[in-house]
Amino acid sequence: MVSTMRAFHPGPSVDTQTIRDHGAFSALRSDWNSLLERSAVDSPWRTHQWLDHWWDAFGGDARLLVPTVWSKGRLVAAAPMMVVEETIKRLDVQVLRFVANAVTPRSGFLVDPDADRGTTVLWSLVKALSKEWDLAILANVPRDVWLDQWRTALTDTGMRFVETLDRRSPFIDLSQGFQAFRRTISPKLRENINASRNRLSRLGVVDVQSVLGTGDVPGALETCFDISARSWKAGAGSDLGGRPAYRAFYRALAEDEVLRRRLYIWILTVDGQPIAFNMVMRGDRGVIGLATDYDLAFKMCSPGVYLFSTLLQDLCTLGVDQCDMAGDLYDYKLYWTKQYLPHSQFWIYHGGPKSRLLYFLKDRTLPTLRRRQASAVPGANVRDSPPGPADSSA
């Protein structure tokens, strides 16, 4: 049963505005980044520049739908979202999603911590826009303390929602220095790092070049494209620069005067030939992985293992306390760490007829997510204690 929505009246000093036009969104840059700074979330993927470049590269047929909240002329809350037409259970559905895809490390709202009930106002505005969407699928939301406020405010709107476990991103604690970290990894991994270095050394002079936010960042990126075009991903059509939209997006990051300062690239060479790269971005909790790849011809040397070990050592020298490997849990990541940050995905339904039907069918539209929720990860340590699936209709 859907609960009755609690009335909310922002008051004379609070206004709401929904941005639907890219030009109008572009004009928000100063206000948006000022809000980001006040929110104490130093995440480059939530900057206006990142979102603007993302839209240029991937926006396609999607429609912007960005609810904003203003207090005394100042932006105090915003949700970078879009509407995408999709087919679910043979139904043509208008799906509300974040302005994000696989290149985006994580997603969420932006709320000034001093804004009274800012999250509640945002959710109320999202519901008020329900004629423009049938189902909201808001993914990749980190399970941290702030998420409790998110859940409470969402419940207050009276909309039904199902929360499931989304990706689980491994992270490496470097706060005690590289040698302390090295002692935490298995003897087998230490052996593999040494073996990789030795095998590479037999092929020629091994060198690791780093471009840390300054210098020829665009040139280093082009080298990454070239390496990735010689990787196994090229055969699958998923190499870093093999798809025009992705190539355009990464080039925009490397050429942006703000974001390129956060872009760190390591390139492994043998006798001057680039054979592997690792690209990260400096964010709120250290660095977070964006892309990594290697030349398939050097597979037997495990170049990525040696390169990543060098990257971690350099990060400690730079005073970086954490390396977030991003993405999801994979065996090769669990060789390096057993710690991870869980994320949630929310399927949100309102009172419209198509939305009610989708809620009725939710047991059949969410089988994959439920299987992922039920899966266990032996030996992995979660950063917090994630709750089980939440269903607001209980």
Same domain, 131 and 238: no
> How buried is residue 348: exposed, middle or buried, by Cβ count under 10 Å (0-12/13-18/19+)?
buried
Same domain, 159 and 207: no
The answer to whether residue 330 sits within a structural domain is no
- CA–CA distances in Å: residue 243 to residues 69, 233, 248, 249, 254: 36, 11, 9, 10, 17
Residue among 262, 265, 257, 259 at smallest CA distance from 219: 265
Same domain, 305 and 181: yes
Among 72-86, 171-185, 211-225, 348-362, the least confident range:
348-362
Report pLDDT digits (tens) over 6-61. 333 445 578 999 999 999 999 999 999 999 999 877 789 999 999 999 999 999 98
Same domain, 77 and 117: yes
Same domain, 39 and 94: yes
Instruction: Read off the CATH number of the domain in which 124 is found.
Output: 3.40.630.30
Same domain, 208 and 290: yes
Same domain, 254 and 279: yes
Same domain, 309 and 247: yes
Same domain, 163 and 20: yes
Report pLDDT digits (tens) over 283-303. 877 999 999 999 999 999 999
Residue among 264, 261, 267 at smallest CA distance from 294: 267
Same domain, 100 and 215: no
Calpha distance 277→272 (Å, rounded): 13
Same domain, 310 and 358: no
pLDDT of residue 364: 59
> pLDDT grade, residue 368 (50/70/90)?
very low
CB count within 10 Å of CB 366 equals: 17
Domain ranges, residue 268: 175-320
Quote the pTM value: 0.89
Same domain, 240 and 137: no
DSSP conformational letter for 261: G
| Pair type for strands 339-349 and 381-382 | parallel
> How buried is residue 389: exposed, middle or buried, by Cβ count under 10 Å (0-12/13-18/19+)?
middle
Calpha distance 280→177 (Å, rounded): 19
Residue 272 has pLDDT above 70, yes or no: yes
The answer to whether residue 348 sits within a structural domain is yes
Task: Give φ, ψ of 354 to 5 degrees.
Answer: -70, -35
How many folded domains does the chain comprise?
Answer: 2
Burial 179-209 (b: 16+ CB within 10 A, else e): eebeeebeeeeeebbeebbebbeeeeebebe
223, HSE (Cβ side, Cα atoms, 13 Å): 21
- Per the listing, tokens 């909240």 go with 69
Share of the chain above pLDDT 70, in %: 89
Residue 194 has pLDDT above 90, yes or no: yes
> pLDDT grade, residue 377 (50/70/90)?
very low
pLDDT of residue 3: 26
